[in-house]
Structure 1
Amino acid sequence: MRKIRFTGTPELVDGPRPEAGAGQLLVRTELVGVHVGVLRMLKSGRASEPGGEMVGTVVAVGPGVSDSWLGKRVGGVVFEAVYAEYVLAAPALVTELPAGVDAADGLAVVRGGLVALGAVRAGGCAAGESVLVTAAASGSGHLAVQIARALGAARVVGAVGATDKAGFVRDCGADAVLSYTEPWQERFDVVVDGVGGELVGRGVAALAPHGRFVAYSAGGGTVEVGSLLADLKTVTGFSVGLLARTEPEVIESYRAELWKLLADNHIRPRHVEFAFDRPAAALELVATRRNRGRVMLRTG
């Protein structure tokens, strides 16, 4: 089978097809995702064959796994060697794609959608409220814009690093688009941040009284606690990982909600697709923050 090894320049190589062990699924992939988390892993030198999200068809099961998985189209996360024509997955970390769901839409939703919905829910977004979404053109951010609207937000504003993304974010349903370099005068009930760094402080400052700031980025950042007190602001961190390990029923409810939002056309995932032999181009698009929506590689 073909796979990509990341040792300096991404390299397409041949390797043996893995075999499903106890408690594992063997999945023939259709699409695999490329996102900023992969760049961080590669930069740190932690992984030459990193994990990530994928969509594909179950072709074999290991001991202890029901044969009912065979032939199902699934999407989800694997912890290593996702950039391959065949990957090993844990049943608990994948979900069956509903009939008729396009593979690219499915890939955009199975991870980025979970992050977006979870972050918006963590902010307690209620009907009639205003929401600011940073990284609003990203794989998760563009879905957060649409999800906030679907949950009844009266006003949704996107924030982006480059003004040429404004049209894309408006097409995703934002009422207005701000850049990171201009002052943010408006105040919001909820700020969902996918950037981190200095935008954390700016996002907290942009909260209205009783406002909620939700951070889901690994980009760091600090908050001056005193800035929260007078207006009763709150700051929350969000990660899918802990919920998946400790409250899988919440993840299942989010997945069901996402599939319904997709079926009802309340969310329309955007994606940029590259051939499997073009990983460097896909990584470069993400690294330079020029992507609109989820970036992915088609493996077969």
Structure 2
Amino acid sequence: MKGVILDTDDQFRLTDLEEPVPGPGEVAIAVAYAGIQYGDVLVRSGHFPVPRPFVPGFEAAGRIIAVGDGVDPARVGRQVTALTSAGAYAGVVIASAALTLDATGVDPRVAAGFGWITPTAYDLINTVTRVRPGESVLIHAAAGGVGTLAVQFAKNAGAAKITGVVGNGDQADYAAGFGYDQVLTRDRFPDALGDERFDVILDPIGGATRRASLERLTPHGRLVAYGNIATFEPVQVSVNDLLMQGKSLLTYNSNLLSQTHPERLADSARQALRLVADGQVHIDITAEYEPADLDTAIQRLADGETRGKSILRIA
């Protein structure tokens, strides 16, 4: 089969690979499309060290063609979307049966775009910060995959006002189409907000943005850190100050959750997928690439030029 490898020289190459076989608790999926995500940037940069050559790709949509021990054989032939630990940029990928969801009736392109971003956005709003009706929410990276979904989940949860922060004016126009009540460019944050405070803030940026965001929480407000796009520099926070001000700093790591409590992640993913299938939540597929163009796709993501979700066509 054909697949893409990340080689020892940090280059992506299309090559011939042996077709993998599922082990216990696993399924083999003939991949139609694969989702492109920020984990690809981190693997390429070496932030997440992996043995090279490495077959990247963490999100797959396709059809189950084989199952391992302990998996219902009736699943063979099902159209699915899967969260994988590697290998989705190839003709066949192995995935945990627990994190492979039935996607019958869902467009395969959308199923690939579902990936990690949709359960992540769902969890950030519903299980981590637990947005309540009438609360105010601020979402950084509002034009990205998680940001365009989180605003929809926040509205579904009854948020009264949702503010987005983006990198530039073009991204502001794009993000506004997903239901934000207000969108600011990063150079206007936080000054343009005046004295406004928020019950919930979603922050994948880190650094100075995280420090400024903590200052913008209401009493009993919750900030969830789920990435460090800008910098991996640690942000020092006084727990005593948080306690006195009634503020909470939370974290969310979907990759870790998939290893420690995969059933929790799978449950959130199923609930999110139902909302997508029902048309209540829209995944915006903005770019489709061929395997030979993967490096361009990932560089655009690293440079902040990507809106919504990009996918790779495999079959």
TM-score bucket of the superposed structures, by smaller chain: over 0.9
Aligned-residue offset at 1:257: 2.2
Deviations along 1:131-172, one digit per CA (max 9) or x if unpaired, are 001111111121111111111101111111222101110001
- Checking the alignment, whether the CA contact within 8 Å between 2:149 and 2:281 is kept in structure 1 is yes
- Superposed CA RMSD in Å reads 1.9
1:2 paired residue number:
2
2:28 paired residue number:
26
Counterpart selection for 1:89 from 82, 92, 95: 95
5 Å-filtered alignment, 1:147-226, equals: 147-184=153-190, 185=193, 186-219=196-229, 220=232, 221-225=234-238
- Checking the alignment, whether the CA contact within 8 Å between 1:188 and 1:211 is kept in structure 2 is yes
Task: Point out where structure 1 has 5 or more consecutive residues left out of the alignment.
Answer: none
Residue type at the aligned position of 1:10:
F
2:109 paired residue number:
104
5 Å-filtered alignment, 1:26-105, equals: 26-44=28-46, 46-47=50-51, 48-97=54-103, 99-105=104-110
Q: Secondary structure at the match of 2:295?
A: helix
Q: Secondary structure at the match of 1:172?
A: coil
Aligned-residue offset at 1:31: 1.2
Q: Secondary structure at the match of 2:84?
A: strand
Deviations along 1:52-111, one digit per CA (max 9) or x if unpaired, are 1111111112333321110011112222222101111121221111x3211222223241
- Name the % identity: 30
Change (3 A) 1:160 1:227: farther
Deviations along 1:2-29, one digit per CA (max 9) or x if unpaired, are 1111123211112222223343211100
Residue type at the aligned position of 2:70:
G
CA distance in structure 2 between the partners assigned to 1:240 and 1:79 by the alignment: 12
- Checking the alignment, whether the CA contact within 8 Å between 2:98 and 2:263 is kept in structure 1 is no
1:274 paired residue number:
289
Aligned-residue offset at 1:180: 1.8
Residue type at the aligned position of 2:4:
I
Q: Secondary structure at the match of 1:101?
A: coil
- Checking the alignment, whether the CA contact within 8 Å between 2:29 and 2:93 is kept in structure 1 is yes
- Checking the alignment, whether the CA contact within 8 Å between 2:226 and 2:251 is kept in structure 1 is yes
Q: Secondary structure at the match of 2:305?
A: coil
Aligned-residue offset at 1:256: 3.1
CA distance in structure 2 between the partners assigned to 1:192 and 1:223 by the alignment: 18
5 Å-filtered alignment, 1:207-286, equals: 207-219=217-229, 220=232, 221-225=234-238, 227-271=241-285, 272-286=287-301
CA distance in structure 1 between the partners assigned to 2:148 and 2:274 by the alignment: 17
- Checking the alignment, whether the CA contact within 8 Å between 1:29 and 1:54 is kept in structure 2 is yes
CA distance in structure 2 between the partners assigned to 1:174 and 1:213 by the alignment: 18
CA distance in structure 1 between the partners assigned to 2:16 and 2:146 by the alignment: 32
Q: TM-score, normalised by structure 2?
A: 0.88
CA distance in structure 2 between the partners assigned to 1:285 and 1:115 by the alignment: 22
CA distance in structure 2 between the partners assigned to 1:294 and 1:28 by the alignment: 21
CA distance in structure 2 between the partners assigned to 1:54 and 1:155 by the alignment: 34
CA distance in structure 2 between the partners assigned to 1:80 and 1:255 by the alignment: 18
CA distance in structure 1 between the partners assigned to 2:43 and 2:142 by the alignment: 23
CA distance in structure 2 between the partners assigned to 1:234 and 1:167 by the alignment: 31
- Checking the alignment, whether the CA contact within 8 Å between 1:51 and 1:77 is kept in structure 2 is no
- Checking the alignment, whether the CA contact within 8 Å between 1:26 and 1:60 is kept in structure 2 is yes
CA distance in structure 2 between the partners assigned to 1:188 and 1:114 by the alignment: 23
